[in-house]
Amino acid sequence: MERRQQTIENSDLPKPWEDRNLTRAGWERHKDILMGGAATGYGWRPDPWWLYEKGMEPPPSQEQPRKLYEMGELKGVELERVLTGWRDEFERGRIDGIPPTILHNLGVA
């Protein structure tokens, strides 16, 4: 754990207060750490994933689950978490951001 912390602190990862993007080389070096973040696995990816793995600008955070679903990137537990979130939103009457295919499965569209 101490070694990992030291690696992160001494890395070329941008600090939260710095206004700079991670380079492709930095992404390749640190993608395991970045993809292991708390929000990954809940329908979200870090900006460098979008830029370097998919060659596209990252969508706003609130649109990422839908985009990932449409791209076929959600699998297993992550897909279940996102579907559960959409079911909860549907039950609250909030359907913005829920893909039409999901609405259809819920009996709406």
| 8 Å CB contact between 19 and 56 | no
Query: Per residue in 22-61, pLDDT tens?
Result: 889 989 998 898 888 767 789 999 999 999 999 999 999 9
Picking from 99, 5, 97, 18, the residue whose alpha carbon sits closest to that of residue 60 is: 97
In 3D space, the residue among 92, 102, 90 whose CA is nearest the CA of residue 66 turns out to be 102
Taking the chain, what is the end-to-end CA distance rounded to the nearest angstrom? 49
Stated pTM of the model: 0.78
CA dist., res. 102 & res. 70, Å (int):
11
